[in-house]
Amino acid sequence: MKQKNNFFRILCLLFTGILTTIQAQGNDLPQLEYYDSVEVSLLTCSPHEEIYSLYGHSALRWHDLHTQGAHAGEDIAYNWGIFSFDKPYFVLRFVFGLTDYELGPIPMNSFCNYYSYWGSSVTEQVLNLSNEEKANLREALRQNLLPENRIYRYNYFYDNCSTRPRNIIEKCINGTIKYADREDYTPSYRDMIHTATRHHPWARFGNDMLLGVKADQKTTLREQEFLPENLLYDFDRATILDNGLYRPLVKERRMIVTPGVQMIEEDFPLTPSQCAWLLLGVSLIIIILEWKRKKTFVWWDLLLMAIQGLAGCILFVMLFSQHPTTSTNLQILLLNPLALFFMVSVAKRRKTRWWRILVTLAVFFLIGGFFQNYAEGMMIVALCLLLRVIINIKLKD
């Protein structure tokens, strides 16, 4: 749903300047009949293997079919997914939900070549708009391209490259768009992310670690349209109600870039579950050795506590993020920053409350599993930590 290519961004900035000049010269456009030869389309791009593209992408196409005049042949993709990793503190700002994206007009050939290079398809849905609605949309796009409007605060679920084209289309329609209900389709945000990352278990694991209880709530049709493929599906079945008359929102659907060959980048060879089982196996071996020697291996407890505490710090920070779905994450019960504060007492083998605190947190974590879907392997991790509680209490009794 994003495009980070710096060349792409520079191209957008240059093209914006040219386009603004042309639009300034062409404010005296002909009468509404002029728009008979203009097509406006929703573009939907299939995912490719880059991590930022696993969810697909949406854009708007403005295609002027005239052969003469100031705007003859104008063919532009309006793309709300432009961002750059080079901006200061990009990752930190993204974590806190403070990332700014921008609208960039891109020559259609360049847009298609980009997705063709990655092996992604581009589907075009030509919208069934009146000339007045096209004129409204052109003005709305011009306003969106102004320096004070083109940058917006990105939100992964609620304000992104898919919701922006939908919203601007809805505002320019002389009437109301009626979307067809989808029977037996009420996925949660987490369900939809799992579908998009089904071939990337570690990307799915990372998302699940950061998403909280709210990501497991059932979504409405409108909320589902944060995913480009869902917006495409809904547009195909949508109608426009105008003065008591219905007309289809989409009058034609085309595949303008066919799917190509994609280079599949292999993830880490072990899945999160396999890593968790490996951790459990190592823990059991260590427990057997400890039981034979009648002495706990403090270094193993300290290692687990360090991982537990540092991961907990990340989850604690996410509680203050502007991403609404991260604000209540019950996994912080297990991966908790408190572990860092008790490392000294555990290292010096002092009497400590940590093990009773840990077992309490683990129990609440297990209960929380009825309300939140945890990241893959987290239940196994909980079992490992509970085993550490048991062995430490048994050997010190």
In a domain, 304, yes or no: yes
What are the residue ranges of helices labelled H in the chain?
6-25, 90-95, 108-118, 131-144, 163-172, 189-196, 201-210, 221-224, 228-236, 272-293, 298-318, 338-341, 343-347, 354-368, 378-396
218 shares its domain with 292: no
User: Domain boundary residue among 257, 290, 308?
Assistant: 257
188 shares its domain with 292: no
The string of pLDDT tens digits covering residues 286-316 is 999 999 999 999 999 999 999 999 999 999 9
Judge contact between 346 and 305, C-beta under 8 A: yes
To which residue do tokens 């003859």 refer?
A: 72
In a domain, 264, yes or no: no
Question: Cα–Cα distance between 142 and 136 in angstroms, integer?
Answer: 10
The string of pLDDT tens digits covering residues 313-327 is 999 988 887 777 888
In a domain, 188, yes or no: yes
In a domain, 263, yes or no: no
In a domain, 266, yes or no: no
96 shares its domain with 223: yes
- Kindly report the number of other CB atoms within 10 A of residue 313's CB atom: 15
In a domain, 152, yes or no: yes
User: Domain boundary residue among 257, 285, 301?
Assistant: 257
162 shares its domain with 286: no
79 shares its domain with 182: yes
pTM reported for the whole predicted model? 0.86
328 shares its domain with 376: yes
Judge contact between 165 and 80, C-beta under 8 A: yes
pLDDT for res 321: 78
The string of pLDDT tens digits covering residues 353-375 is 999 999 999 999 999 999 999 99
Question: Cα–Cα distance between 297 and 220 in angstroms, integer?
Answer: 51
Q: For the chain, which residues score pLDDT lower than 50?
A: 7, 13-14, 17-18, 20-22, 24-26
Q: Helix (H, G, I), strand (E, B), or coil: what is residue 313?
A: helix
Question: Cα–Cα distance between 78 and 43 in angstroms, integer?
Answer: 9
Look at the chain and report how many structural domains it folds into.
2
173 shares its domain with 59: yes
25 shares its domain with 127: yes
In a domain, 1, yes or no: no
**Domain limits for position 168:** 6-257
User: Domain boundary residue among 257, 289, 312?
Assistant: 257
